[in-house]
Structure 1
Amino acid sequence: MAWLLPRLLLACLAALFGFVIGVAVRAATGLDSLALGLGSATGVSLLLIVDAVRGNRLLNWLRGTQQDSAPRDTGLWGELGYRVERAMRDRDRALARGRLELEQFLSAIEASPNGVLMLDIKEHIVWCNHAAADHFALDPKRDLHQRITNLVRAPAFVAYLQAGRYSEPLVLGNGRGPGTLSIVVREYGDGMRLVLSLDITERVRNEAMRRDFVANVSHEIRTPLTVLSGFIETQQNLPLTTAERDRVLVLMTQQTQRMQTLVADLLTLAQLEGSPRPGPDRWVGLDGLLLRVAADAEALSAHRHTLRLKPATGVELAGIESELLSAIANLVTNAVRYTPDGGEIEVTWRVLEGGSGELAVVDTGLGIAREHIPRLTERFYRVDGSRSRETGGTGLGLSIVKHVMQRHGGELLIQSEVGKGSRFRLVFPAARVRHANDTPLGDEAAFSGGAISADH
């Protein structure tokens, strides 16, 4: 009520001014009625003029941008201007907060790997994030306010959207290439719909790989079991000579060893996938590993190949000895198995730029067609299934090698050409390679020193 007193004072001043005018008119004319009328009219007019001036200033401010402060008059118009200005400033702050919260919300949705499409009651696109634009082959700006069914014309999607039954998600091919989407629609507001899409390509691929893995394991185990079962039935039902029985026992032993090798490889893979990554503080001599691998390879080759498998590297590798031995042995034994008699197999070591190291297994075998190379490390993938079984392979060797190298921070690289042989390279990072006479540094030295102290 602070505006009331100035208002009353202004009214009193206007009345006083009118009274003065009335007295002056009465003195000049001697007419009381004329003096009263002119005095009253003058007082009211003065009050109206002051209000008109102040009101016009406030209206001019309201018609403008309101960037400046409202007119700071006294009384009613000053109070009214202040209240209007404060209400407008509060509204602007609320709108700014709302815009900021909306931008943050949309930014959060934009960062989500899930696609989000907002549709109005007529199925027009109100907003979509870039993930949804990628999933449905849309342009997030150009396609706004377009009808979604005019842009995404997959019959399954159109039928799902228009059916109105959204309890189960729709599985649909990705609009921008090979892939699979899971689409869910949720209704909100007055006929509005939210279309949520998720790229499940990797999940579908993993499920397919899991099914294939189970099927392959079942097949690989069923085959020797069938052979063993047949041999056992033969021995039970048919009279066999000593030579025939010995031959059957040899074949049964081979099938049993095949199953044992398969189970051992499966256990190795499971251990590799479930174990923590090897630390950089356990060093293994590469020359010792190569000597052990060479002995097994020479026994497998039985002088049928020219073998050069024992380069003097003087190198140590940081990692788990059994895993490194398994990786190298798999490559060398594969080279022996798939290289025809009279062929050559060689193991070489070299230090690469930056201190990393490369162990290469080179053979003059049959070679591998280019289209097979990207899939060689898949479990149970075989270029020639019959030949692989004849040579005793399980189809898991290169998969084990790949996992070992990934765990040690390296990689497996494959080069091959049909009729010219193959080259398998194990590339180790510089942090896991050192000469045998190098002195440990940094954390490794501290760890080693602690271990020595503990031993003593």
Structure 2
Amino acid sequence: MGWMGWRLAFTLAVAAAGGLLGHLWGTTRPAHWIDGVLGGALLAVTLLFVRDLVVGHRVLRWLSGGLVDAPRHQVGLWGELTARIERAVRSRDRQIEQERDRLAQFLSAIEASPNGVLLLDASEQIRWCSQTAAEHLGLDRHRDIDQRVTNLVRAPAFVSLLQSRQFEHPVQIPQPGGRGVLSVMVRAYGDGQRLVLTQDITQRERAESMRRDFVANVSHEIRTPLTVVAGFVETLTNLPLSEVERRRVLVLMAQQTQRMQSLVGDLLTLARLEGSPRPPVDTWVPLARIGAAVEADAQGLSASRHRLSFDWGDGVELAGSEPELLSALTNLVSNAVRYTPEGGEVSVRWRNRADGAGEVAVRDTGPGIAAEHLPRLTERFYRVDGSRSRDTGGTGLGLAIVKHVVQRHGGELQIESRVGAGSCFTLVLPAARLRRPVDATTDAAPELR
């Protein structure tokens, strides 16, 4: 029997009890026993109704009070009603909590994205903003809520995109303060709402610019000697030259051919460095052996026109690729010799650092380099003085190779230079790639102790 059956039975029982009491009262007055029965039943039902009013008032007060401290010890209709309401409320609270957790996880996932997310309403007012989007667009994610986005982001391309309502393609806008370049994409959703996605493409644009410059530089560097060689070939073919003139032309052709070979060789070296795995950490190479090859190249290039001095440490060994390390040191020492005037000095010194690392410093007494050029020296084909670099036989890739080699070995290239005071290029190698000879007295010390 459900609560309705119990309620009906209880009401009838109360009415019957009231009627019985009214009948007993009416037996004292036989003429009015029917009135007594009816009056008793009515009185009983009235009392039950008053009780229901009191309980109903308590339930209404409980409902209006936020369903806190539910009325207890209720039976019948009101007990069933309060129990069902309480179960429904608890179920709703659990669902709200679950939805709140899911929303928090979703927002956390958006915050973890490297792309910025901005939600706009139909009036283009900001409804929500991720931290990344705020950093990209120079917004305050809390203060700028409900602000019109075009009042805060005034890039013409972005404003035009919102006004055109043609969202098929993204636009590029500068970051505030000129920090970089953003790609902004807009998508419509809901009832006139907008989803704005921002992506920092500064590095991509820089890489694309470097690629274009690289292709242009390579084309230029190869076209120049090819033009010279082609001109000399035409000269040899069409003009009668004396033996002296012919030999001079052949020497110049050989120089240009060597220049192209050097350029292609450096390009292949860079491609190999960028595409190969990192050098091993368990293959040890004596620094003195690398240094002997570097010294031979430097002395041949100098032809006794400079004062050369070398100190490769005492038995130092390096972990890594011998050809790469040799290429890096040869490039540094060759540059120092080429750019140092006759009678100048070039010195190479090994030094143990206090942090366990080691460094090879290549110092010269050349003309030096202005401070504004130092950050760009390791860029491919970057030259402080293009004509002088070509005269000395440089390809513009040497320092780029050095930088790649030292980074692949976990180190760094440090450059110090002042105009008129020479330059110092230092290869810093981490302690994990160094192995020094063990001093005999150090080994014997534990036994003596």
Q: CA deviation at 1:97?
A: 0.8
Q: How many Å separate the matches in 2 of 1:165 and 1:97?
A: 37
Report if the CA contact (8 A) 2:348-2:360 is conserved. yes
Q: How many Å separate the matches in 2 of 1:390 and 1:282?
A: 38
Q: 2:12: which partner in 1?
A: 12
- Would the alpha carbon gap of residues 194 and 312 (structure 1) be closer, same or farther in structure 2, given more than 3 Å must change? closer
1:145-294 matches, cutoff 5 A: 145-294=146-295
Q: CA deviation at 1:110?
A: 1.0
1:416-455 matches, cutoff 5 A: 416-436=417-437
Q: 1:373: which partner in 2?
A: 374
Report if the CA contact (8 A) 2:311-2:350 is conserved. no
2:103 is the counterpart of 1:98:
no
- Would the alpha carbon gap of residues 427 and 156 (structure 1) be closer, same or farther in structure 2, given more than 3 Å must change? same
1:27-426 matches, cutoff 5 A: 27-29=27-29, 30-426=31-427
Q: CA deviation at 1:28?
A: 4.1
Q: CA deviation at 1:69?
A: 4.4
Q: How many Å separate the matches in 1 of 2:161 and 2:55?
A: 64
TM-score (norm 2): 0.95
Q: CA deviation at 1:138?
A: 0.8
Q: How many Å separate the matches in 2 of 1:70 and 1:216?
A: 86
Q: How many Å separate the matches in 1 of 2:298 and 2:217?
A: 27
Q: CA deviation at 1:377?
A: 0.3
SS at match of 1:354: coil
Q: How many Å separate the matches in 2 of 1:27 and 1:307?
A: 141
Q: 1:21: which partner in 2?
A: 21
Q: How many Å separate the matches in 2 of 1:94 and 1:41?
A: 47
Q: How many Å separate the matches in 2 of 1:94 and 1:310?
A: 75
Q: CA deviation at 1:309?
A: 2.2
Q: CA deviation at 1:176?
A: 3.9
Q: CA deviation at 1:292?
A: 0.7
Q: CA deviation at 1:17?
A: 2.5
Matched residue type, 1:251: L
Q: 1:443: which partner in 2?
A: none
SS at match of 1:194: strand
Q: 1:451: which partner in 2?
A: none
Question: Which consecutive residues of structure 2, in runs of 5 or more, have no partner in the other structure?
Answer: 441-449
Alignment length (residue pairs): 439
Matched residue type, 2:411: G
- Would the alpha carbon gap of residues 47 and 433 (structure 1) be closer, same or farther in structure 2, given more than 3 Å must change? same
Q: CA deviation at 1:172?
A: 1.1
SS at match of 1:205: helix
**What is the aligned-residue RMSD (CA, Å)?**
1.6
Report if the CA contact (8 A) 2:62-2:68 is conserved. no
Matched residue type, 1:21: L
Q: How many Å separate the matches in 2 of 1:224 and 1:313?
A: 44
Report if the CA contact (8 A) 1:355-1:430 is conserved. yes
Q: CA deviation at 1:436?
A: 4.5
List structure 1 runs of 4+ shifted beyond 4 angstroms: 436-439
Q: CA deviation at 1:250?
A: 0.7
Report if the CA contact (8 A) 1:17-1:42 is conserved. no
Q: How many Å separate the matches in 2 of 1:197 and 1:255?
A: 49
Question: Which consecutive residues of structure 1, in runs of 5 or more, have no partner in the other structure?
Answer: 440-456
Matched residue type, 2:26: R
Report if the CA contact (8 A) 2:344-2:365 is conserved. yes
What is the percentage of aligned positions where both structures have the same residue? 59
Q: 2:444: which partner in 1?
A: none
TM-score (norm 1): 0.93
Q: How many Å separate the matches in 2 of 1:106 and 1:56?
A: 43
